[in-house]
Amino acid sequence: MNSWNCRVADTQRELDDALRVRWEVFGVEMRMLGDKKPQAPREANCFDTLPTTAHVVVYSDQEAVATARLLLPNAEVASSAGSLMGLDIERKLDLSELVAPGRVFAETTRYCARQKWRKHAVLRLQACLYRESLRRGVTHWIAAANMETDSEEEATLIYRAAARQGWVSDRFRARTLEFPAPPRQPVAPRLSPTQLARARQGDLDDLKLPPVLSLFADKMGARFIGPPHYDTAFHRFTVPLVAALDEIPQGTLRLFDTLDADAA
C-alpha cells in the first residue's frame, strides 16, 4: 500500500521534483510542448522562482507524482507587464471586472499528475492546494483549464455542454485580450467521429468533458468566466474559470479531511 504525502516545495530538490513532473506529464505523456526536448527534462518559466509562487507536490512513497503551482498577485510582474494583479493569466484576460474589496485571487497553473498515479493523486493535490491557499489568505482561484483538444470546433462544443450543465458563471466575467489562431488541421482531437457527429447535431448531454474541467466545476464549484482560448505554449484550448474557496461543496471538504487523515 502506497504512503502518500503532499508538500509545499521549500527546497531546491522539491522545486526540481515539481518541474520534472510537469515535463513528464506535459512534455512526454501528453506531448503538448512540441518535439524539441530540453537539455534537462524540466518544464519551467520565470514565474517558478517568484516569492509569491508556491509549488505543491504530491508524493507516493518518495516519488513525486503530481504538482500544481499557485501564483499570488505580484507587484513586480504587474509593474513590468502593465497588468492589474501580476498574474500570468492576465496576458490573455482582462480581470478588472473581477476585482472587489475582500477578494484575493490566486492563479492555479501547471496542474498535472502522472498517468500511473492520476486516479489517486489529483484530489490529494487539490486538498493541498486548498490548505495552502487558505493559509495565504486566498479567497478565489482563477485558472485556464486544459480542454485537452486543439480543435476549435471541439472546444466550442465542450463549452456549450458545460453551459448546459450550468457551469458558466452568471456572476463573473473576464474579457479576452488575445485571440491566437489554432491549427487549421487539429492534431490532438479529443472526440471520436461518432461523438463529434452527435455533438454537432446538438446531442451534448452525454458529451464527456475533460477531467480537469469536471474536477474544478463539479468537485470545486468552479464556474467558467469566458469562452475557450487557444494556448500557443501548450498547443491546446483552455477555458478560464473562477472558484470561490468559501463555496467549495461540503462533500468535497469532507473528502479533503479524509485524505488529510489518511496522510497523517
Q: Tell me the pLDDT tens digit for each residue of 20-40.
A: 999 999 999 999 988 888 889
**Please, which pLDDT band fits residue 252 given cuts at 50, 70 and 90?**
very high
**Please, which pLDDT band fits residue 263 given cuts at 50, 70 and 90?**
low
Mean pLDDT for the stretch of residues 181-206: 93
The grid coordinates listed for 117 are 498515479
Name the average pLDDT for the chain: 94
Asked if pLDDT for residue 225 goes beyond 90, the answer is yes
Question: What is the distance between the alpha carbons of residues 259 and 264, in angstroms, rounded to a whole number?
Answer: 9
Can you give the CATH number for the domain in which 194 is found? Answer: 3.40.630.30
CA proximity to 67, closest of 119, 28, 110, 16: 110
CA proximity to 253, closest of 228, 223, 219: 219
Residue 262's pLDDT is 67
Q: Tell me the pLDDT tens digit for each residue of 48-68.
A: 999 999 999 999 999 999 999
**Please, which pLDDT band fits residue 264 given cuts at 50, 70 and 90?**
low
pTM for the predicted model, two decimal places: 0.93
Q: Find out whether 151 and 93 touch, Cβ atoms under 8 Å.
A: no
Total number of domains constituting the chain: 1
The least confident of 28-37, 90-99, 149-158, 229-238 is: 28-37
Residue range(s) defining the domain that contains residue 223:
4-263
**Please, which pLDDT band fits residue 2 given cuts at 50, 70 and 90?**
confident
The grid coordinates listed for 208 are 464527456
Residue 208's pLDDT is 86
Residue 132's pLDDT is 97
